[in-house]
Structure 1
Amino acid sequence: MTRNQITHHLTDALLMAYSAGTLPEAFNLTVATHLSLCDDCRARAAAFDSVGGAMIDGADTVELAQDSLAATMARIRASKPQHETPAPRAGLFPAPLRDYVGGDLDAVRWRPVGMGVKQAILPTSRAATARLLFIPAGAAVPDHGHRGTELTLVLQGAFCDEVARFGPGDIEVANEELNHTPVAEIGADCICLAATDAPLRFRALMPRIAQPFLRI
């Protein structure tokens, strides 16, 4: 994946919420995975972190325990920079996602959804759901809207919908105003990481019937 080919990025609101630590776990995973691929968003996230640090510097002071500084410095030395430039990786999944999956693509436990589409729900908190999606080249996801926010990060292949074309590294941010029918581009199967904080809104009967069982 070539980072400079990424054209669809995270919003400032999402990056600020990520920096503040207020996003659900599933959204944090999707944002962190995109940041590991996107130099632009990683730089913007670092800027928001700096703003947050400046606000803390300007806050009222309180008396600390005598060993607070030593304990803080020890934790800093033991941790890695949050937005460090990622090392080149082998395989498809960036490190944040690989940690959740427990490996790369061959470790995913896919479950069929229908029409060749498969999904794998990842373990996160119940505030939102993260899933991997496998969409065969040329196949479509049923037409749907949203009751909340959906983040869809392309890892392989590409899809097109009523908004634009989304290729590797691109992320689509969908809300209640968007109704779309994503279609995987011919040439390669499309694999995405998607996070939702509310059930989708399907128009067709069969997807609505299957929805509770598929947790979509």
Structure 2
Amino acid sequence: MIKYHPSEQILQSYVQGELCASLSVAVSMHVAMCPQCQQLTSQFEASCAHSFAGEDMELQGDENWDDLIAQITENTMFAEDPAPAPLEIEVKGEQFVLPSSLQNVGLSGWLKLGKLSRSRLNLGDGKLHASLLHIEKGGSVPQHTHKGFELTLLLSGTFKDEMDSYVPGDFIMLDGEHEHSPVATESCLCFTLADDALHFSQGLSQLFNPIGKLIY
């Protein structure tokens, strides 16, 4: 069961179109995987629709909002575009189907560091780094904290750290107050978003701080 979700403030900003592209993509993927947040976004969308139309708008006769929405959605004047074929990627011999939100996003080549592989996503958000991160079963990211914020959306597989265990759909927001060392209990694929480098905090891994941006 998904335990970690975007805040209601983030969901409201998503519905209102106020998020940057990278965060909007992350929320879109989470909502597609999470019935709880699907219900919340539907409520926020309905609230926004009422606010946009204005509380003083009068409906004719027995019309109500549900009737109007049904009439709009039943309009057959415009043919729907066929759904694109699922986009599959291969990482170290494993096949993954990417969420529809990433269908048209450019991927860089894979940088491979031991059991970690990372591909940058071209979302044009300046210093925000959006990536796909693949961790082989048993692989880990050394103990670290964060100079800025780090969002991890687990797309496939499972991993754990000192705080909890995570399943597909978990939306995990961390910052400099958190320190952890994620370990893949199953081979996993994550969408990650960060605005600064990792800061490795223990042992020999601290030698990798100059290249912390390569992972996230």
Structure 1 partner of 2:211: 210
SS of match in other structure, 2:102: helix
Count of aligned pairs between the two proteins: 185
Indicate whether 1:93 and 2:98 are aligned: yes
Question: Counterparts in 2 of 1:1-216, with a 5 A limit?
Answer: 5-58=1-54, 92-101=97-106, 109-112=109-112, 114-124=113-123, 125-185=125-185, 188-203=186-201, 204-212=205-213, 214=214, 216=216
Alignment CA distance shift 1:60-1:35 (3 Å): same
Aligned partner letter, 1:45: T
CA offset at residue 79 of structure 1? 9.8
Decide which moves more: 197-206 or 21-30. 197-206
- Matched letter for residue 26 of structure 1: S
Task: Report the alpha carbon displacement of residue 109 of structure 1 after superposing the two structures with TM.
Answer: 3.0
CA distances 1:117-141 after superposition (whole Å, capped 9, x unpaired): 1100000121522100011111111
Conservation of the 8 A alpha-carbon contact between 1:202 and 1:208: yes
Local SS of the residue matching 1:99: coil
| Aligned structure 1 segments of 4 or more residues deviating by more than 4 angstroms | 76-80
Structure 1 residue runs of 5 or longer lacking an equivalent are: 62-72, 81-85, 103-107
Structure (1 or 2) with the greater helix fraction: 1
Distance 1:197 1:48, change over 3 A: farther
Tell me which of the two structures has the higher relative contact order, counting C-alpha pairs closer than 8 angstroms and 6 or more residues apart. Answer: 1
| SS class of match (2:47) | helix
Query: Using a 3 Å threshold, how does the CA distance of structure 1 residues 148 and 14 change in structure 2: closer, same or farther?
Result: farther
Larger Rg, first or second structure (1 or 2) = 2
Secondary structure of the 1:36 match is helix
CA distance in 2, matches of 1:57, 1:111: 49
| Structure (1/2) with the larger strand percentage | 2
Structure 2: stretches of 5+ with no match in the other structure: 58-71, 89-96
SS of alignment partner, residue 181 of structure 2: coil
Paired residue secondary structure (1:172): strand
RMSD, aligned CA: 3.1
1:191 is displaced (CA, Å) by: 0.9
TM-score (norm 2): 0.72
Cα distance between partner residues in 2 of 1:79 and 1:182: 46
Query: Structure 1 length as normaliser, TM-score?
Result: 0.72
Match of 2:13, SS? helix
Query: 1:159 Cα deviation (Å)?
Result: 0.7
* Distance change >3 Å, CA 20–CA 200, structure 1 → 2: farther
**CA distance in 2: counterparts of 1:141 and 1:131, whole angstroms:** 15
